[in-house]
Every structure is written in C-alpha cells, then in structure tokens.
Amino acid sequence: MHTHLPGPGRRTPVSTYRLQLGPDLTFADAEKALPYLDALGVTDLYLSPVLQAAPGSTHGYDVVDHTRISDVLGGRSGLERLAAAAHARGMGVVVDVVPNHMAVPTPAWHNRALWSVLEHGPASPYARWFDVDLAEGEGLLMPVLGARIGTVLAAGELVLDRAVVPGDDTERPVLRYHEHVFPVRPETEDLPLAELVGRQHYRLAYWRVADEELNYRRFFDVGTLAGIRVEDREVFDATHALLLELFHAGVVDAFRIDHPDGLADPRGYLRRLHEATGGAWVVAEKILEGDEELPDDWPVAGTTGYDTAWRLHALQVDPHGAAPLAALQHEVTGERASLDDVVEEAKRQIVATSLYAEAHLLTTMLADICRQDVRLRDHTFRSLHDCVVELVVAFARYRAYVVPGEQPPPEAERVVREAADVARTRLDPDRHDTLDLVVDLVLGREAGSAGRQGDQRRAELVVRFPQVCGAVMAKGVEDTAYYRWTHLVSLCEVGAPADRFGVGADELHEHARRTVASWPATMTAGATHDSKRGEDVRARIGAISAHADEWVALVRHLRAATADLRPVDLDGRTENLLWQTLAGTWTPDGPIDVERLTAYLLKAAREQKAWTTWTGPDEAREDELLAYATALLTHPEVVTALTGWVERVTPTVRRSVLATKLLQLTVPGVADVYQGTEVTGTSLVDPDNRRPVDLEALAGTLGALDDGRDPAGLAEEKLALTAAVLRLRRTHPDAFVGEHAGYEPLPVTTGRAVGFVRTDAGGPRVAVVATRLADPPGAEAAVVLPDPPPGTAWRSVLTGSPAAPGTTAVADLLGDSPVALLVAEPGAGA
C-alpha cells in the first residue's frame, strides 16, 4: 500500500477546480456554479482560504481571525450551504490553509491576537503566537510611519485619542497615526506623548526600518504578514480548531497547505495535521527545484503541481531555438551573463536590502553562540555575516530540512555542504574556518565546547536558517531574477529551472514513473494563482522557440520600425520581456487591453529591482516605458507583424495548448483546473490572473457543445477536451488515483509525439497520445497500442471511433486533432 495515499475512509479527489474566492466570487456564487462544474466532470471544489481576512483582502492569505469564516464570502452558514450542495452532487470540498502567517491589518484591531500582544506584551495570552522575543524589552516593531519617529512626533501626526474597539464595548485610549490605530499600554496614557510612545509593548518606526531592524518573522519581505508559531501545540490547536471542526463535521474533505517551507518544522506540522484528520488528503505548496524530491517522511499526498507544470511546458519548448534566442537576448539587453550569474546577483541584492534584517538576525544569533563559548569567540561578527551571506546566496533550493536534536538527514547535509562548497570559492581563505563552523551549527552538529548541542540559541539557529534560505530563494529568484532573465520568459516560472530549454518524452516518463511509485495522489497543475503567466500565455511564448529565426527577424524589424518611439534609456531586459509578452498575449482577437499590459509591465519592471523599484520608483522612465508599450498596440507595423505572427504560429500554439492540457489532466496525480483555464486565456501574473471568470457563460458554451455543436475556435476545443478528460477520470478513477493506478509509456517512433497508458487493476484502461513542437509527426510515425483488457476494445473519447491494438499510424489515430484520448470499454470490437 502507498504510504502517501489518504487514510481509511478519507476522500481522494479525482480532479479539483480551483476557485479564487473574494468579493466577486462568494460561497453563494460558487454554489450557483456547481451545475456547470459537475457537468464539466470536476469531482472536488478547491477553495482559496476561507477564514476571516484583513479588510479589503482580494485573496484571503492575510488571515486575521482563525475562529471565523469570512463574512465577505458568506460566513460559516454560506460555506456549509456550499458544501452541502457540493456533497449532494457527490463532489468534495478542498480548502486552502495558511499556517505560516497572519495579517498585520489596518487598523490593527482587526487581528485580535495581535492587538492583545501590542497592548499587553509578554502578559498577553497570545504572546506565544508570534515569532518575536517579547522579553527583550523593545517590543514588536511596527514600521508604519511615513517618516522617522522624531519627525512624526514634531509634526503632530501621532495623537493620543479614545475609541471603542470593535468587539469591546469600553472606550479606551488609543494612538492614532492617520488610518493606523494602536492600543495604549495600561497606566501609560497620562505620560507625555514622546514618553508614552517609548513605553509601549511595540515600537512605532519609519517603514524603511523594517529592512534593517525587523524583530519578528514575516512572510518573505512582506511586513504586513507576521509569522506565527504553529509548531507550538497551543497555537496549532487555536489556529486550526475551526477548520478541523468543519472537517470532522463533514463540511470540508481535504486541505491544501500554503507555503510549508516558512514553518519552523514543516514535517512536524504536517504530521500533527495528519494525526488530527486521520490521514486526510493533504497537498503542500512545496516548490521543488529541478530534480529535488519531496521528503518521503512528510505524511502528505504530494505537492500542488509546479513540478509537473514546468515539465509539461518544457516538453513543448524546442531546444533548437535556444541559440538564436540567446543571441537576441544579448542584442537587446547587452548582457552576456548566465542565468547563474543573474540569480547570484539578484539573491545578493535581496540579502543586502529587503532581507538584510533576516540575514543580520542569523548573524546575531551566531555571534551570541560564539560569544558564549570560549572556543568560538574569535569568530567575529563580520566574519560570521560574510559566511551567512555567501551560504544563503549559494543555496540551490528553498531549504534543507533539519530538526533540532535530530541527526540531519543525508539529503539535508548534502544540500548544505554543496552550498558551502560554492560559498567557499567566494570567501577569503581566512573565512573558511568560520564557514565550517556555520555549517556545523546550522546542521545541529556539535561545535566548539562539548555538550552544547541542546542549547536553546543553537536550536533556534537550526530553525531560523532554513526559513531565511527560503525567503531569499523566493525573493531573489522568482521575484527578481526571473523578471531579469529574458532568454525565453515562459521558462521563468515558479519552481521551474529557467535554463532547462526543453525536455524530452523520456524525462516526462521518468517523472511519471517516480510519481506513481511514491506520490500517486499528488496534484498536477497547469496554472495556479501564483503562476507568473497563464498556461496559454506560456504556450504562445513557448512557440517562439519553434520559430526562433522568424521571431528574431520580427523583433529586429519592429525595433527598427518603432525606433523613433522607443525611449532613449529603455532598459533592455524590460524591452525583451515586452516583446515576448506581446507574443504571449496577442491572439487572433488582437492584443490585451492597454490597462492590463501596462499594469503588468509596471509590476515586472519594479520586480526587476534594477532601474526602478517599488520603494524607489523612477516614475519618469516608467512613464516612458508605458507610453512606448501603449503606442505599440496600435502602431501599424506592429499590428501587421504580430497579426501575421499569430497566423504563422497558430498550428504550433494549438498543438501546445491542447497537448499540454491533455497531458496535465492524465499524467499521474489529482488533476487541478485553475478557474477559467478550461478555455484559452491571456492571464499574466497576480493579480491579473485573479480576474473574475464568467462561469455562467462557460456553462452555456459547454451545454452547446454537449448538444452537438462543433467547437468554434481553440478556446472551445480546449473546453471540450477538458470536459472529456475530467468526465473520463470520474468514470474510471481507479486508473488515475486509485491504489492500483499505473502508468506505462507507449512505444512511439517519432520525437514529435508522446504517448502512455493509464492502467487499473484490470490492465490498460486509458491511452493518451499528444504531439509536440512545431511540425506534426510524419506519415511514417507510428505508435503501438497495447491489448485492452478482455471483453473491451479501444474507442476514441474525442471522436467515438474504434482503434485497434498493435502498431498504428499516429496520423490515423489523431485525425485533425493534435491529441488522441482512448478508453478501453465494452464494445463491438471486444
């Protein structure tokens, strides 16, 4: 029996449909969509976070109250009605859980736990909730001021006031700073204002202070999301009580866990959740780098599917396009740096700026350890800081998994020591002894005087170091380097190795075999709310690789044709990103709205953190960029060229879109459909990909297709294909997620196609063939279909035509489609 399947009596989804709940999509709206999702073939709803979030939240990851279901979404009664309606149709409910952090809202009283800590400090019943040492006396840093505290006080912007805090009928003194409101520590309200401010259990500070002196753990570099200690049993119980109550009441069936790498002990958290749910289906948003594997001792069904998504896209990327596109990147950007160079530069910048406080905290902990041990006190603060910086910059994945008091797993030790080997080449030889010490300490090994491994400060370092590594990885790679690297931007995706320019069928088969063996009920994704680009935008950009020479010529032509409009100091990386973004979002209907394009470009440019940033925007250059991009959308040469480009690559794009969708829905795992991706789209990075989806219109289209109307265009082809596969999964779940679900590659005589069968206990049940790259397989290309189980015959799910086992021409199997989907079922040919 697989150790990563849900426990007895626990539901395993066959497919999920991700709904981004919010003011525009409430529980009631989701309930109205159930007939459509049921008709589509979906077996389980996959809901974004449902707990009470900060005022105005559009995503739900900024939780303020774990005891309430979001009022905006419809409250507990709304969730219960939705779940009851889903269950009446045989559909399950998966809920997104945010264990790592809570919001620091405005006003702060919306987070009652935080408000209590701000008011009462160490005496608060919630003092253990947040990752901050309240005993040190300075209090929780609140970096909300628009200027330094002295300037704010002198200007009279900080005032003592009285207010009735929601949930408390008593009027009380508060400190106000514009829209911010803070409690006043009891018995300090009569002090002079400056002294009163200094006596609180929190420190009001200029917002820029957070990057240098932050004293609480946050989500990456987001100061408005404060880390909480779910490793503390009391905190776990309090923050999960309502969700677990709903689970045991049968309202909720399964969970998706947000960002487990931010936790002090991911494995410990997941084990506690596993125990509390009796082995519910749980997937973790663990971002695996390259060939990294999910830790086998995590009691989860698997990941949220980034590891599958990047491989399926790379399968449609033509390696022959790498060289011409690299030459174009150099021509437009002027840089010769490798991706490794760009990543190192970005991570180094992050550690020196927005995450400086985190690196400084690690150094301070190390310095304290050394100061307390006579054998170690010659390791200076500066030497320790240098080693910390180089080690986290060199770290090649989000984190290693080391638990204080336990022998580090061999994989964790290997990853840390490989990073140390890289760091050593970047450090002065005099620092090497210090680096060895840091490595031993972060691995929890004995160092210095004997018998100190169990010291609290050393144990805390073992916990903190990987949390900082993950933050540096996320901010340095995904949120910086991947906006700078423009070789082929569709490869710059969450968890994707952007220098892997294409993969072959053999690699896909090997990944599938490993998944079946170890994580058969993991999730597979095409796009998520965190994706840098929607799956169809990636497909259109990926098509550039198959027509690279033509693309290079087109960009050169358009650069010359628009030279009079192009800003003199236009950043080359941003320009190359712009051209590929146009290719990814230009469809037969034309370009996307100018507002969407410019909003994306502004975000992308600031995320590059090079010529403009969020905290120091160069508004003049930004305006010039956006004006140029706006002009391109209506420039006659651009419109003509990109319209022609779309016509030229349409067959490649169609092949990529349909093949990628079919494979994503049939490779091993629970198939997820992000809202709206059953049809084609032009979604870019969040928040663009959270725009409302017209599910009612999609229901009408699906109904027309079911009534026999032929698909009109690629969007409807994709919808028809998605429905066919999801319905097939629901009819034959044992071939996809059951204990005996198997996967076997099909012999194919061409590199332009990939094929496999999904098997159940009775043998081959579903056969899949999908084409790839620019040109369709030749007439001589063949695939070998296995014999179906006795009493059954192969039938095309898409056309209804029979197919014989044995060697078959790929072209005959495909017909006019780039994909084929067969099912073994009782029929005339049996």
Residue 646 sits in a domain whose CATH number is: 1.10.10
Residue 136: CATH number of its domain: 3.30.1590.10
Decide which of 623, 650, 677 is a domain's last residue.
650
Q: Are residues 398 and 476 in the same domain?
A: yes
Q: Are residues 223 and 242 in the same domain?
A: no
Can you tell me the mean pLDDT for 361-389? 96
| DSSP character string of 94-142 | EEEE--SEEE--SSGGGSHHHHHHHHHGGGSTTTTTBSS-GGGSS-EEE
Question: Taking the CB of residue 450, how many other CB atoms lie within 10 A of it?
Answer: 8
Q: Are residues 348 and 477 in the same domain?
A: yes
453 vs 291, higher pLDDT: 291
Q: Are residues 121 and 82 in the same domain?
A: no
Reported as a pLDDT band with limits 50, 70 and 90, residue 830 is low
Q: Is the peptide bond before 107 cis (omega within 30 degrees of 0)?
A: yes
Q: What are phi and psi of 811, to 5 degrees?
A: -60, -40
Decide which of 625, 650, 675 is a domain's last residue.
650
Q: Which of 322, 326, 332, 719 is nearest to 542 (CA)?
A: 322
33 within domain boundaries: yes
Tell me the C-alpha distance between 506 and 525, whole Å.
Answer: 20
Q: Are residues 161 and 197 in the same domain?
A: yes
Decide which of 650, 673, 693 is a domain's last residue.
650
Residue 136 confidence (pLDDT):
63
Tell me the C-alpha distance between 516 and 228, whole Å.
Answer: 35
- Each residue's pLDDT tens digit, 463-484: 999 999 999 999 999 999 999 9
Tell me the C-alpha distance between 448 and 311, whole Å.
Answer: 45
641 token code pair: 């060229």
Q: Is the peptide bond before 687 cis (omega within 30 degrees of 0)?
A: yes
How does strand 15-19 pair with strand 44-47? Answer: parallel
792 within domain boundaries: no
Q: Are residues 201 and 53 in the same domain?
A: no
Secondary structure (3-state) at 304: coil
pLDDT at 671 over 90: yes
Can you tell me the mean pLDDT for 533-560? 98
In sequence order, the β-bridge partners of residue 141 are 203
Contact 824, 766 (CB under 8 A): yes
Residue 510 confidence (pLDDT):
97
Tell me the C-alpha distance between 525 and 297, whole Å.
Answer: 23
Residue 452 belongs to domain spanning: 341-358+366-482
Q: Are residues 352 and 470 in the same domain?
A: yes
192 token code pair: 């002079």
Q: Which of 547, 527, 434, 532 is nearest to 479 (CA)?
A: 532
- Distinct helix (H) and strand (E) counts, the chain: 28, 26
116 within domain boundaries: yes
Q: Are residues 130 and 261 in the same domain?
A: no
Reported as a pLDDT band with limits 50, 70 and 90, residue 262 is very high
Q: What is the mean pLDDT of the chain?
A: 96
If phi > 0 it is left, if psi is from -120 to 50 it is alpha, else beta; for residue 577 that is alpha
- Each residue's pLDDT tens digit, 159-168: 999 999 887 8
Q: Please state, in angstroms and as integers, the Cα–Cα distance from residue 349 to each residue in 134, 429, 479, 489, following that order.
A: 30, 23, 12, 21
Instruction: Give the global pTM.
Output: 0.96
pLDDT at 234 over 70: yes
Q: Are residues 416 and 541 in the same domain?
A: no
Q: Are residues 197 and 250 in the same domain?
A: no
The domain total for the chain is 4
Q: Are residues 203 and 181 in the same domain?
A: yes
Relative orientation angle of helices 456-473 and 432-442, to the nearest 10 degrees = 100
Can you tell me the mean pLDDT for 786-808? 96
